[in-house]
Structure 1
Amino acid sequence: FMAFGSHRMRELSGTYTFSSRPRAVENRIKVPPQALRNYGNIMYDRRVVRGSTYSQHILQTTAQTTPSEIQRHQEMRRRAITQKRAFGESRLKTPEALQGRTHVDVQTDLYLEELSDVLATTDIECQTDAFLDRPATPLFIPAKTGKDVATQIEEGELFDFDREVQPLLEVLVGKTVEQSLLEVMEEEELECLRAQQRAFLELRNSELAEVQRLQEQERRRSQEKERRIAEQREALKKEKETAEKIAARVFSQHYLADLLPAVFTSLSDHGYFYDPVEKDIETNFFPWLMAEVNKSLEKRRVARQLLDGRNLRM
């Protein structure tokens, strides 16, 4: 259980009040008893709204606001803001604290209450009585019904063991021997199967080795055959090229046998092969000689013309 430092008490007037431990309170405000009686129960307070709050503020969806109403509402809002600002400026503020003192927040409510984050608690213990454990549930045994009857059987009255056990022993021994024979036959058959399997595996391995040898031999033969064919083709190709070269050489020799004299003759006719002295005489001496002869003839012609003209004048 926990004990709190504060508690509630009911007064004679029927209202709930709050009280705390006695302590020194600064700036205590005396409240007249009449105020306590007037505002003890909020059910009779006129400031408390009763009923549904939705029915008091119903918006008219059909009504349309006119520009004049909008302007009037704006004017009222501006006026309220101005009044509130003027009231805040004109309100007296608390002066600054003196040197060495500080302002302290005090309660100005009707009832003072000690404010604290730490709650006073008290530890209380209790001890329960010791109880014995529940005993185990006894095993259920049904009630006995009927009557007990007994009888006496003498030796040899029901059966003779030596005589009655002989068929059972024959069956057991016969089945055991038969099962043993079957197991022996099965083992012999399995051994024969294993021997046949080993012989088959040996034969199969030998055949596989022979097949691999034959495949390798065939592969070598095919490679040798391809190599011989390639060599033969290369030899035939070289022989053909040699024959073509020989034929081309013979043809070129026969063709060039008459070509060289004809070429030399044509070149000689066109002046590609010449005598240097003859070429010098034809290109240098003869032109100079002709030029000198022309000059001499020109002088003679001029002299004759001058002589003929003088004779005519005389």
Structure 2
Amino acid sequence: MAFVSDGRRDPNGSYTFSSRPRPVENRTKYREPPSEQAHSNYGNIMYDRRVVRGNTYTQHIIPTVAQPDPAETHRQQEVRRRAVARKRTREQFRPTTPKALQGRKHIDVQTELYLEELSDVIDATDIECQTDAFLDKPATPLFIPAKSGKDAETQIEEGELFDFDREVQPLLEVLVGKTIEQSLEEVMEEEELACLRAQQRAFEELRNNELAEVLRLQEQERRRREEKARRIAQQREVLQKERETAEKIAAHAYTKQYLADLLPAVFTSLRSRGYFCDPVVKDIETNFFPWLMAEVNNSLDKRYIARQLLDNIILDVTQKRLEDFKELETQPAKPDI
């Protein structure tokens, strides 16, 4: 460098600046003309691999840079993780709108103080590039301009360039004004949040009342529906019983009409076959007649036995007399005296 600057601050608070000249020895005034035999270091940069052509927004080129510091990388990751954790915590403890009722949905409403302009954000990518080290860097600069003019210095006293009491007033006004404005905005925001909470509580109370009314109406509708179903079931049962009763009456009348001529014929046939009889006649036939026949048979048996005995006696007497008559005939006759 041609000049070396030296800045210092005095104990009384003033700042001084001075530049000391540095002589250059064994150097010419102008740059030496390059020789024709000198090797040229320039070339066409369009064929240089380090030059990127085209759109750099959509290309993700891995630059040839040095490896980052692990401690710096860890620190950046820690900062990013803490930012994500703070954002998640704020979202977790942020008051949210209650869920909508069944069949309804919430609609986004603009509640900010100012309108927000929506625009497409272009994706930008930060890329770093490490240049190559200088080749054959000389110990001294190739060109140092010649010194011209005279060295001079200027002493600036306290209060000449900057008066703190006078210059700080607008800054304080701005800071105090911004602080007061921010405080008022925060107070208004708190009042608005309190009003929103009150509206939210009123809305929740109204919604709870409407929900209780809906539940009551649903319960009433359910009871009416059950009562209607029960009445319909009872009416169907009554109609079924009436139908069954009518069928029974018709069957009874048909059976009575059908059996009007059948019963006399059946009773007559059964009576003719002996299934129906007089108990007195049956008792006489089953009890008296067998006893009477048995008694008559006994009497006849006794009479037959008596007759047989009598016949035997008569037969014996007849045979006895016959024998007597035969004896008499065989004896000679006695003369009469």
User: Please, what TM-score do these two structures have when normalized by structure 2?
Assistant: 0.39
User: Please, what TM-score do these two structures have when normalized by structure 1?
Assistant: 0.41
